[in-house]
Amino acid sequence: MMAAEAGASANTIAAYRADLERTAEAISGPIGEADSDALSGLGASWSHLAASTVARRAASLRRFYGFLFDEGLRDDDPSAALPRPKLSRPLPRILDPDEVERMFAAIEDRAASGQPLALRNLALLELLYGSGLRATELVSLPRAALLRREQPFLILRGKGGKERLVPISDRARAAVDAWLEHCPDGKWLFPGGKAHLSRVRLFQLVRAMAAEAGIAPERVSPHVLRHAFATHLLAGGADLRALQALLGHADIATTQIYTHVDSTRLVELVNQRHPLANR
């Protein structure tokens, strides 16, 4: 149902499966037959987890028991007994523009020598920071994705199966072109093992690039570069709705988190645009 009807991605389905398996370990008896008392006791066993993790597990179970009830496999839906933690959205970690510049400078020095893997890493970095791609979207790009020279964008199927336009800068295209001269033949733009580069390997590569630029590796990840893309665009004057479309957010409330990150711009906006600013 999650795959065929809800259109959930493989990563989402894997996360749901893991949540159900961990819940099955925490309760006695088959998970499909658990009653309200069994589910109400999960709050105590999950007390050591972050509120976001508890909320995700509870959401997975609500979806599961809702499915059983809708399909007539149960006469009731016990999910009302699941905990509902209060969530506060944390501010995203980002990098300063000069830190991103240091990462580019370090990898460009290596790429200048023509090392194939350095050229690949530069292309990865350009697409992460220059287009705001998610890690899965980036590593699963087909080889033919950027071959149409007249098209300065990608039509990408991202999270939740939603399509969006992703602009590709001239810098990113040039970096990809340089990498394609050395890229092994096959389906994927960034091959790795028997398929494409894995998200774990991308994470490792990004941290290695950060370390080479003198930045603490634990501060950097593919998603941090996506956050930097969004924050720096907003600081440069990008419209919030345009940023929502570029990031592929279903709800603009998700995009609005970046207005809290760029507090300096908000202060400047009030000082410059408010009717009383010049009195």
3-state secondary structure of 37: helix
Whether residues 22 and 159 share a domain: the answer is: no
pLDDT (0 to 100) of residue 241 = 78
pLDDT (0 to 100) of residue 103 = 94
Using alpha carbons, list the distances in angstroms from residue 160 to 12, 25, 136, 141, 250.
9, 29, 12, 16, 9
pLDDT (0 to 100) of residue 49 = 86
Annotated catalytic residue within 159, 173, 199, 265? 159
In a domain, 109, yes or no: yes
Q: CB atoms < 10 A from the CB of 249, how many? A: 19
Annotated catalytic residue within 134, 196, 227, 232? 134
Annotated catalytic residue within 62, 110, 199, 223? 223
Whether residues 152 and 211 share a domain: the answer is: yes
pLDDT (0 to 100) of residue 149 = 67
Annotated catalytic residue within 16, 65, 129, 258? 258
Gap between the Cα atoms of 247 and 258, Å rounded = 12
Whether residues 110 and 245 share a domain: the answer is: yes
pLDDT per position in the chain (279 positions), as tens?
888 887 788 888 999 999 999 998 888 778 999 999 889 888 888 888 888 888 899 999 999 999 999 999 999 999 999 988 876 666 667 788 899 999 999 999 999 988 999 999 999 999 999 888 889 889 999 888 876 766 777 777 766 667 777 888 888 889 999 999 999 888 999 998 888 999 999 999 999 999 999 999 999 999 899 888 888 887 777 777 777 777 777 666 666 666 665 556 556 666 776 676 666
In a domain, 277, yes or no: no
In a domain, 86, yes or no: no
Residues in Cβ contact with 202 at an 8 Å cutoff, skipping those fewer than 6 apart: 124, 135, 138, 139, 222
In a domain, 2, yes or no: no
Using alpha carbons, list the distances in angstroms from residue 145 to 132, 151, 168.
16, 10, 11
User: Locate tokens 């066993």: which residue?
Assistant: 45
Gap between the Cα atoms of 35 and 47, Å rounded = 20
Known catalytic residue: 226? Answer: yes
pLDDT (0 to 100) of residue 192 = 87
Whether residues 227 and 113 share a domain: the answer is: yes
Q: Are 229 and 131 in contact (CB under 8 A)?
A: yes
Known catalytic residue: 274? Answer: no
pLDDT (0 to 100) of residue 95 = 86
CATH of the domain at 151: 1.10.443.10
DSSP secondary structure letters along 74-106? -S--GGGGS------PPPPP---HHHHHHHHHH
pLDDT (0 to 100) of residue 70 = 92
Annotated catalytic residue within 57, 226, 227, 232? 226
Q: Which two tokens stand for residue 130?
A: 């220059």
Whether residues 175 and 263 share a domain: the answer is: yes
Known catalytic residue: 223? Answer: yes
State the distance between the two ends of the chain, measured CA to CA, in whole angstroms: 61
Whether residues 58 and 161 share a domain: the answer is: no
Whether residues 52 and 161 share a domain: the answer is: no
In a domain, 279, yes or no: no
Known catalytic residue: 258? Answer: yes
Whether residues 75 and 102 share a domain: the answer is: no
In a domain, 88, yes or no: no
Which domain range does residue 73 map to? 10-81
In a domain, 77, yes or no: yes
Whether residues 20 and 136 share a domain: the answer is: no
Whether residues 58 and 165 share a domain: the answer is: no
Please count the structural domains in the chain.
Answer: 2
Whether pTM exceeds 0.85: no
In a domain, 143, yes or no: yes
Whether residues 170 and 226 share a domain: the answer is: yes
